[in-house]
């Protein structure tokens, strides 16, 4: 069988951890309050896979199902919408608590702020979230997608009224294109969840927006009698989501944080590559970054997120596509008694990886190193549903990418 994944522990030197405060609980609370002001807001489900956990020899296995988020089938809108609100608050001299949904959709906003054009690059989910939020708030959006992007994801963004293109370059080059165009446009602003020198405020706000998902999951676990997860599996593209989740749980449980396993697509595993190199410096992966995990096809890390991960992640994993495909099938056809989760390519990688680690003797050493056993309460995030329905059907129904 083809090698399924590669992994490394975290042996990098620590930094001064100056960015952990981005995910302070007080900042996450502001994001949560903002999201709750939306009439479309509902807490997304936390699926407790009791039977699957038992079959793996785990105490508990929990999947945060983001296919229900705001009717958009993915979590990304949490970050883009909150960043837009904080940007507008700053531009109008208000606190973000004053720029809730009611204010942002009221005619007064046009008088106070006018209209901006929000530029972004996306594989689909982030761009759809930015386009949706811009549409709801009476703003403009321009979205650039990398080559290989699917028509269904393009159409979902266009349906929100955004100007959207598919370019003949990879994701990271689309980011540069969006930033350049924003700089050349009056009242233009780039809303991107990757950070670089000189562009750190908006990515920080996006990460705080993602904190709503982590906080919901934590409260749901507590309601189930789980005081804290012992292990958190979270996927990474540029690393904004991963570092937001890690940052939240480290701040929530500073004395006893969970073990954090960071998962990437092997075609774009810049975080894993940096962890293997070991100096603590970020790494870059170039090229076409071809993977079914489109949401993870990012070769240049968020510098803020990388700093959090180098200080607090326990394990970095570079996953082949078959890991995600297996996870999609397992979640769609659960063990009897467990709930079904419709999870897309970037959402299901955690399920596939956990299954491989727990079921295959080749990974016994990793199982032991991570202390994944009868006392483990494991949390993962299904960050998207079937955002590409055609590919979802090919993988789940037709058995594509089985080996």
Cα 7 to Cα 85: distance, rounded to the nearest angstrom: 38
Model confidence at 22, in pLDDT bands (50, 70, 90)? very high
Residue 228 in this model has a pLDDT that exceeds 90: yes
Cα 207 to Cα 247: distance, rounded to the nearest angstrom: 9
Predicted pLDDT at 152: 92
CATH number for the domain harbouring residue 317? 3.40.50.1100
What rounded mean pLDDT belongs to the chain? 95
Residues 280 and 164 in one domain: no
Cα 199 to Cα 210: distance, rounded to the nearest angstrom: 18
Backbone angles phi, psi at 297, to 5 degrees: -85, 70
Model confidence at 106, in pLDDT bands (50, 70, 90)? confident
Average pLDDT over residues 364-371: 97
Question: What range defines the domain where residue 175 resides?
Answer: 77-198
Average pLDDT over residues 337-343: 98
Predicted pLDDT at 45: 98
Contact call for residues 316 and 187 (beta carbons, < 8 A):
no
Average pLDDT over residues 139-164: 94
Which residue in this structure is represented by tokens 């540069």? Answer: 176
Residue 1 in this model has a pLDDT that exceeds 60: no
Beta strand 5-9 with 315-319 is antiparallel
Please give the C-alpha separations between residue 70 and each of 40, 41, 75, 131, in angstroms, as whole numbers.
6, 6, 9, 13
Residues 230 and 331 in one domain: yes
Average pLDDT over residues 245-272: 98
Query: Residue 35 is inside which H or E element, if any?
Result: helix 25-36
**Assigned domain for 283 exists:** yes
Residues 266 and 254 in one domain: yes
**Assigned domain for 402 exists:** no
Residue 372 in this model has a pLDDT that exceeds 70: yes
Residues 190 and 208 in one domain: no
Q: Which of 275, 303, 270 is nearest to 287 (CA)?
A: 270
Q: Where are the alpha helices (DSSP H) in 224-348?
A: 240-252, 270-277, 303-312, 321-332
Residue 123 annotated as catalytic: yes
Q: Which residue has the higher pLDDT, 51 or 110?
A: 51
**Assigned domain for 297 exists:** yes
Residues in CB range of 331: below 8 A, 6 or more apart: 63, 340, 341, 342, 343, 348, 351, 382
Q: What pTM was estimated for this model as a whole?
A: 0.95
Residues 81 and 212 in one domain: no
pLDDT tens-digit map of 280-317: 999 999 998 999 999 999 999 999 999 999 999 999 99
Furthest-apart CA atoms within the chain: distance in Å = 64
Residue 403 in this model has a pLDDT that exceeds 80: no
Residue at which a domain ends, from 157, 180, 198: 198
Predicted pLDDT at 199: 94
**Assigned domain for 403 exists:** no
DSSP 86-154: HHHHHHHT--GGGS-HHHHTSTHHHHHT---EEEEE-SSHHHHHHHHHHHHHT-EEEEEE-TT--HHHH
Residues 242 and 178 in one domain: no
Residues in CB range of 241: below 8 A, 6 or more apart: 75, 193, 210, 234, 235, 381, 383
Residue 2 in this model has a pLDDT that exceeds 70: no
Helix and strand counts by DSSP (H, E) for the chain = 16, 11
Residues 56 and 139 in one domain: no
Catalytic residue among 76, 136, 259, 273: 76
Q: What percent of the chain has pLDDT over 70?
A: 100
Residues 169 and 217 in one domain: no
Predicted pLDDT at 80: 94
Catalytic residue among 100, 123, 307, 338: 123
**Assigned domain for 217 exists:** yes
Q: What would the two tokens of residue 117 be? A: 């054009």
Residues 85 and 13 in one domain: no
Cα 282 to Cα 269: distance, rounded to the nearest angstrom: 11
pLDDT tens-digit map of 26-64: 999 999 999 999 999 999 999 999 999 999 999 999 999
Cα 206 to Cα 194: distance, rounded to the nearest angstrom: 9
Predicted pLDDT at 149: 93
Predicted pLDDT at 112: 87
Residue at which a domain ends, from 163, 178, 198: 198
Residue 388 annotated as catalytic: no
Count of positions (residues) in the chain: 403
Average pLDDT over residues 385-394: 96
Residues 261 and 386 in one domain: yes
Residue 188 in this model has a pLDDT that exceeds 80: yes
Predicted pLDDT at 111: 85
**Assigned domain for 293 exists:** yes
Contact call for residues 249 and 221 (beta carbons, < 8 A):
no
**Assigned domain for 401 exists:** no
**Assigned domain for 368 exists:** yes
Contact call for residues 403 and 257 (beta carbons, < 8 A):
no
Residue 123 in this model has a pLDDT that exceeds 90: no
Predicted pLDDT at 132: 92
SS3 365: helix
Predicted pLDDT at 107: 81
**What is the number of domains present in the chain?**
2
Residues 187 and 208 in one domain: no
Q: What would the two tokens of residue 76 be? A: 């990304």
Residues 50 and 140 in one domain: no
Residue at which a domain ends, from 173, 198, 223: 198
């Amino acid at each position: 069988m083809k090698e399924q994944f590669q992994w490394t522990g975290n042996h990098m030197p620590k930094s001064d951890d100056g960015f952990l405060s981005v995910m302070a609980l007080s900042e996450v609370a502001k994001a949560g309050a903002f999201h709750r002001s939306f009439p479309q807001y509902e807490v997304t489900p936390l699926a407790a896979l009791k039977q699957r956990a038992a079959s793996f020899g785990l105490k508990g296995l929990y999947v945060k199902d983001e296919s229900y988020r705001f009717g958009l089938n993915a979590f990304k809108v949490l970050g883009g919408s909150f960043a837009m609100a904080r940007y507008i608050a700053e531009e109008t001299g208000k606190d973000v608590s004053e720029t809730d949904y009611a204010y942002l959709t009221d005619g007064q906003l046009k008088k106070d702020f006018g209209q901006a054009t929000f530029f972004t690059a996306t594989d689909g989910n982030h761009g759809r979230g930015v386009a949706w939020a811009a549409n709801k708030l009476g703003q403009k959006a321009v979205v650039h997608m990398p080559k290989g992007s699917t028509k269904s994801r393009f159409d979902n963004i266009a349906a929100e009224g955004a100007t959207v293109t598919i370019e003949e370059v990879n994701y990271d080059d689309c980011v540069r294109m969006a930033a350049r165009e924003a700089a050349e446009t009056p009242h233009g602003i780039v809303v991107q969840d990757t950070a670089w020198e000189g562009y750190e405020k908006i990515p920080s706000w996006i990460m705080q927006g993602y904190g709503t998902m982590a906080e919901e999951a934590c409260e749901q676990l507590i309601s189930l009698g789980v005081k804290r997860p012992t292990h958190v599996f979270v996927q990474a593209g540029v690393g904004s989501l991963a570092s937001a989740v890690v940052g939240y749980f480290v701040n929530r449980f500073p004395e006893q944080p969970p073990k954090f396993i960071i998962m990437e697509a092997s075609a774009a595993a810049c975080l894993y590559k940096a962890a293997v190199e070991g100096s603590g410096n970020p790494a870059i992966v170039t090229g076409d970054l071809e993977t079914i995990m489109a949401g993870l096809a990012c070769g240049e890390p968020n510098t803020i997120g990388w700093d959090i991960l180098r200080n607090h992640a326990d394990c970095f994993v570079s996953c082949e596509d078959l890991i995600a495909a297996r996870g999609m099938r397992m979640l769609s056809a659960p063990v009897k008694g467990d709930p079904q989760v419709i999870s897309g390519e970037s959402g299901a990688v955690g399920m596939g990886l956990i299954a491989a680690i727990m079921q295959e003797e080749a990974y016994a050493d990793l199982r032991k190193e991570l202390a994944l056993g009868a006392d483990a309460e494991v949390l993962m995030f299904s960050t998207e549903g079937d955002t590409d329905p055609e590919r979802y059907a090919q993988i789940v129904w037709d058995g594509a990418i089985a080996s």
